[in-house]
Structure 1
Amino acid sequence: MTKAKRTWIAALLVVALGTTAACSDGGGNKSEGQGEASASASQSPGQTGGDQSPDAQPEDIMAKYDPPIEISTGASVNPTVVWNPGESIDKNSVYDNYEQELGIRVKNKWAVDTSQYDAKVKITIASNDLPDFMYVQRADLDQLVKSDMVMDLTDLYEKYATPETKKFLTADGGAQLDSAKSDGKLMAIPRTDAPYVPAQILYIRNDWLKKLNLQAPKTMQDVLDISHAFATMDPDGNGKADTIGLSLQKEILASDSGLIGYFSSYHAYPGKWIKTASGQVEYGGIQPEVKTTLKRLQDMFKAGELDKEFMVKDSSKSAELLVSDKAGMVYGPFWMPSWPLQGGAVKDGKVVQDWGIYAVPSIDDKPALQPVDLGVTGYYVISKKAKHPEAVFKLLNRWVTALTRNDPTEDVAKYSQGSLKDKPQAYYTLNPVLVYNIGAQLYSGEMMPKAIKAKDPSMLNNENKINYENVMKFEAGDANQYGAYMAFKEGGSQPLLYEYFQEGRYLTNAYSGPPTATMADRWATLQAKEMEVFTKIITNGASVDEFDKYVEQWKTLGGAQITQEVNDWLQSH
């Protein structure tokens, strides 16, 4: 990975804390009537008692415990944390903030390095010695539910999750929250995250289109025609046959410079599980649409429209063709304008390449859907022995509030940086309940073009105000802000992600459960075989009919059994 790419990814991670910070409905504001943490409240909301009289005041679900209560957890010690002097995983400003505001004293029952965390969880489950709450993986959640070791959180969620938190956790329509349910009961809090980051966008050299008198693509056939023209009509004007239509890398199902978007134009979804008309879930990589797509790619390769050496190039190497005016199209996620496109588009402080941002088109009248995963990275469970389970929801509410406020505040810093003076790195990982914004990119995609057009950043959350300032710098002549401009402008890459959402053009992976028994043993082999066969067909090393043999091999090598196990798991959940 190049230094430029590392820098952009690091910047994206920083912004994620804040663009993570706003719900997809465009509201970074607090929900009306939401309870605030009260430093002076004296009631203990853990004592809920019986029915209230009609005249009773509604319970303040964010009231501070007085005296403080203690709840235990298992801590993952992130090696990227840079500690303030005198602080540690057991005593730090983030934990102190929760105790000062909510009267909740977080105690680590144990703390291990991040690399050892999952193993420690399994030991904890095996010994039946759970802390009050902890973060677990999907397979661990299933085991805990089956063993009846964790609480049903259905009623607790309804009562103690604020409206703001509920909106935050269901910004995708509820799929991520539903994944934490068993037999209709909410058994965990999902660690939500944005699923839309890898969604594919088609980037095309507009200046090449103009030079060759070509129109912007509306269909996949248009894309094929453009690719052929880019490879045969000398768009760089040097009199040599040295340009190609489409840049790609050896990991053909990678997010950047891969072919996920190309496949989706033919309604093919390798790498994902899809629901079929029969209601069963099947693997997308063995469907007939994949064969059709591979044939088109093979035709492009034979016509010189693809890099003849793509099969040995990683994303950084393939990017060199884009930067050096040798490739006119590429598929990738919303951040591609910052890397690698900016490296070629901006030279000596001037924009010298004109890249266009296009929705992935379809080969027919059905929309090309963009495959994404569920987005949940794990789950928080609460032990059946916990005395104050509602306190976990208070921690959750407080973190969500810190993320979603868009007024000038130190909230984000308090729970992500610790001391404002020293600003230690990665302190956000100390929060005992972490969720991230499902709709971070959707919020930016909806709100940033409005703010830019109105020249009014007041409607934005704090982190997008930073993005807004970078766009303004570009419009004022700072070409180094090209990536920000292309991501957030009207017609930019993040507005396109929002457009996909509005049009229902995301296809969520139909299986988000743990590795099945056969999958754990055979999946890596099947994936390697898939890449071997696909690459061989694309590069004309095998007939496209080799795909049919591959499908039968896939089934006999364990794929059929995995498919059965996947459907069995889905039916039991």
Structure 2
Amino acid sequence: MTISTVTSEYASAAYPEGDDITNNVWIRAYKEKFNIEVVTDWVSDEYDTKINLSIAEGDLPDVFHVNSAQLQQLIDADLILDLTDVFDTYASERVKGYMEADADSFESGKRDGRLYGLAQMHWGIIDQPDYIWIRKDWKEELNLPDPETMDDLVVIAKTFMEKYGGYGIAAEQTLDHLNLLAVAWGAHPDLWIKDDSGKIVYGSVQPEMKDAIAAWAQWYQEGILSPDFVTMDFAKMNEAVVSGNVGIQPFYQWWGYNPGVDTVSNLGKEALFEPYMIPSATGEKVEQSIFFANNSYTVVSKKCKNPEAAVKLINFYGYMVDDAMGEVDDETMSGFMDNDICHVVGAFRVLNPNSDYEQYEQVSRALETGDTGNLTTSGMWQKYRNSVDFIENGTPGATGDYMQQGHEKCAYGLAKKILDDEDYIKSALWGATPETLLNMGSTLDDILTEGFTKIIMGEETVDYFDTIVQNWMAAGGEAATNEMNEMYGG
């Protein structure tokens, strides 16, 4: 049988000669093992834009992946199949187990109790806590203590500036990375949270956010933030890190992959940035923000004659990632998993939402004891081998896995403590997104970003925050808040 799909390129995948995203080890295995020929109609770096056009025109492939808004559009337009019976009949126990592990994500693909979008899941909420990353060799050379408060972090930033030049803390024009630090003031930007009265409110417009922005405005005035941050995109911000122009960066758990690889390549192994817990600015305990983690769904067009084919291929992905180790020879496994080839399967995958937590526990134990007997998946072996490679050889390409899971102060080690101690607040939006938010696109967040930037740069006083909130409410924020409370309140 033949089924059609569409996909986006996966930039970090390194294919063997002659292969690409439309012709690779996965595509060949689908044909050899299941007699399913997967034909890719198009590949685009503008996937969302192109799939939106396809939805508008009703010109859809058999199987593809969509976001939450697109899923609702497709259900409304009656363009996709009800997968309830197909999933119940054909899904493997492994894949059904993923859905049980995060039932809320699974349920978010349903309407009126029927399954239309199969949640592609996520690697686990251990991915979500954020950190302040500090350049190791500078900190050690100056014999600076670990930051216990936000004031300590400012001291480190100023000391780095005095000694090494440049500026103190990396930021960029979207404010996404500065926003990671907002939890230090008890603020939770972009997160829907419950206030003291039990009402669901948007974290970006709460009074604690005003305190955080006031501090960042002071940092800008003192040169701790680059005077050019407002024109810096993500790549430009990372260039400053890689070139040695800044030694502190608020970032996610995957710093070691980007900009970590280039930083080590350019500045050497000792120029690693190490992660630290975001310190408090108020003396209160810092609680991290945990968002609804599923962001895509596999759907099947109504024109598809063999919807069970999609489920069979998703089963195969789960088998290869979580069960094939020991049953499939190492060379074959390497072909499916190494060089990010495991990420080029597009719509034909569901992830294990417990994967990274379990992986970290086993990898860290193996590195500590030397006993690799509990490394039971290809992912565990990859993280372990790359961590050893970095320790022994300082290989730049191994930086990501090492700083995520192998280093004595790795990101997942900090995240595990946050999760185990429950030092976090989960989003009240844990499933389908309200219609108002879907329709508004980025409009509401653009109002906040533009207004907050004016305060940080000194174009407006911090009291302008109240005007920004009023503008946000009038532009649809109030309606979105009401709808959130209707859907998730109580």
- Answer yes or no: same fold by TM over 0.5: yes
Looking at structure 1, the residues matched to 28 and 228 of structure 2 have their Cα atoms a distance apart, in angstroms, of 56
Looking at structure 1, the residues matched to 21 and 390 of structure 2 have their Cα atoms a distance apart, in angstroms, of 41
**Structure 2 residue corresponding to 1:161, chosen from 91, 96, 109:** 91
Give the drift of 1:145. Answer: 4.6
TM-score, normalised with respect to structure 2: 0.78
Pair 1:189-2:118 in alignment: yes
**Structure 1 residue corresponding to 2:366, chosen from 451, 456, 468:** 451
Looking at structure 1, the residues matched to 407 and 340 of structure 2 have their Cα atoms a distance apart, in angstroms, of 30
**Structure 2 residue corresponding to 1:224, chosen from 122, 145, 151:** 151
Answer with 266-275 or 546-555: which moved more. Answer: 266-275
Match of 2:181 in 1: 262
- Counterparts of residues 162-561 of structure 1 (less than 5 Å): 162-171=92-101, 173-194=102-123, 196=125, 197=127, 199-205=129-135, 209=139, 214-218=144-148, 222-231=149-158, 233=159, 237=163, 242=165, 244-253=167-176, 258-277=177-196, 280-319=199-238, 321-323=240-242, 326-341=245-260, 351-353=269-271, 355-362=273-280, 363-381=282-300, 392-405=310-323, 407-408=325-326, 429=344, 433-460=348-375, 461-478=377-394, 480=396, 481-487=398-404, 488-504=406-422, 505=424, 507-508=426-427, 510=429, 513=432, 516=435, 520=439, 522-561=440-479
Give the drift of 1:400. Answer: 0.9
Give the drift of 1:191. Answer: 1.9
Q: Kindly tell me: are residues 448 and 96 of structure 1, through their superposed partners in 2, closer, same or farther at Cα, counting changes over 3 Å?
A: closer
TM-score, normalised with respect to structure 1: 0.68
Looking at structure 2, the residues matched to 156 and 183 of structure 1 have their Cα atoms a distance apart, in angstroms, of 17
Give the drift of 1:535. Answer: 1.3
Looking at structure 2, the residues matched to 433 and 454 of structure 1 have their Cα atoms a distance apart, in angstroms, of 36
Q: Deviations over 1:206-247 (max 9, x none)?
A: 5555566653233xxx2323313541x567647xxx464422
Q: Secondary structure at the match of 1:330?
A: strand
Q: Deviations over 1:377-405 (max 9, x none)?
A: 1232575x988765554333222102213
Give the drift of 1:547. Answer: 0.2
Q: Kindly tell me: are residues 303 and 142 of structure 1, through their superposed partners in 2, closer, same or farther at Cα, counting changes over 3 Å?
A: closer
Q: Deviations over 1:172-203 (max 9, x none)?
A: x4332121133444443112233655642111
Looking at structure 1, the residues matched to 213 and 138 of structure 2 have their Cα atoms a distance apart, in angstroms, of 26
Looking at structure 2, the residues matched to 562 and 150 of structure 1 have their Cα atoms a distance apart, in angstroms, of 27
Q: Which runs of 5+ in 1 are unaligned?
A: 1-69
Looking at structure 2, the residues matched to 397 and 535 of structure 1 have their Cα atoms a distance apart, in angstroms, of 46
Q: Secondary structure at the match of 1:374?
A: coil
- Kept in 1, the 8 Å contact 2:200–2:428? The answer is no
**Letter of the structure 2 residue corresponding to residue 402 of structure 1:** M
Q: Deviations over 1:301-320 (max 9, x none)?
A: 33443333322333444345
Match of 2:54 in 1: 120
Q: Deviations over 1:125-179 (max 9, x none)?
A: 9xxxx987664443453355557776665566455433322333444x4332121
Q: Deviations over 1:400-448 (max 9, x none)?
A: 1022135256589979968x9xx99969756763223434443443222
Q: Secondary structure at the match of 1:327?
A: coil
Q: Which runs of 5+ in 2 are unaligned?
A: none
Q: Kindly tell me: are residues 465 and 301 of structure 1, through their superposed partners in 2, closer, same or farther at Cα, counting changes over 3 Å?
A: same
Looking at structure 2, the residues matched to 83 and 289 of structure 1 have their Cα atoms a distance apart, in angstroms, of 51
**Letter of the structure 2 residue corresponding to residue 314 of structure 1:** D
- Kept in 2, the 8 Å contact 1:141–1:381? The answer is no
**Letter of the structure 1 residue corresponding to residue 174 of structure 2:** E
Looking at structure 2, the residues matched to 342 and 133 of structure 1 have their Cα atoms a distance apart, in angstroms, of 35
Looking at structure 1, the residues matched to 157 and 349 of structure 2 have their Cα atoms a distance apart, in angstroms, of 47
Give the drift of 1:252. Answer: 1.2
- Kept in 2, the 8 Å contact 1:268–1:290? The answer is yes
**Letter of the structure 2 residue corresponding to residue 249 of structure 1:** E
Looking at structure 2, the residues matched to 529 and 449 of structure 1 have their Cα atoms a distance apart, in angstroms, of 43
**Letter of the structure 2 residue corresponding to residue 251 of structure 1:** T
**Letter of the structure 2 residue corresponding to residue 475 of structure 1:** I
Give the drift of 1:538. Answer: 1.6
Question: Percent of aligned pairs with the same residue?
Answer: 23
Matched residues, number: 476
Q: Deviations over 1:303-356 (max 9, x none)?
A: 4433333223334443455456553422112232344356556777x5444643
Q: Secondary structure at the match of 2:169?
A: strand
Q: Secondary structure at the match of 2:299?
A: strand
Q: Secondary structure at the match of 1:308?
A: coil
